[in-house]
Amino acid sequence: MEPVSLFDLASKQARWLAVRQTSVAGNVANANTPGYLATDVEPFEKVLDRRPVTLAATQTGHFGTPSAKDKVAVRPVEYSGPELPSKNTVVLENELMKAGEIRRSFELNTAIVKAFHAMMMTVTKG
């Protein structure tokens, strides 16, 4: 019962960004590991569009199934650069770029939540 689904959307994006940051951390840590393939998360639109099929809980005794909709898939990215003898596909510069992108988005995200929260407080306090 939420009039505006902004908080839900924002927390979804925050979760997605956190997973993406983990993927960047893995890539940077494994920048010198032979045979390691750089990974990235699926685009956020895909996470939003997902309509998973879950079992309906029609009785109170039913166990909830772990919802697959909050899971963000991390998979190796395609690599177009020159093939190195170590077969490692991490480009450190790209990872730092991605990190900057994540930071900006996260800042925007928390700022929006903050502003929205302030609006709600204005309404309640009058």
Q: Radius of gyration of the chain from Cα atoms? A: 19
Q: Does 26 bind other proteins (CB under 8 A)?
A: yes
How far apart CA 38 and CA 41 sit, in angstroms, is: 11
The footprint of other proteins on residues 53-112 (CB under 8 A) is: 92, 95-96, 99, 102-103, 106-107, 110
How far apart CA 18 and CA 10 sit, in angstroms, is: 12
Is the Cβ–Cβ distance between 40 and 121 less than 8 Å?
Answer: no
DSSP class of residue 59?
Answer: S
For other proteins, the closer of residues 69 and 117 by Cβ is 117
For other proteins, the closer of residues 54 and 86 by Cβ is 86
Q: Which residues bind other proteins (CB under 8 A)?
A: 14-15, 17-19, 21-26, 28-36, 92, 95-96, 99, 102-103, 106-107, 110, 113-114, 117-118, 121
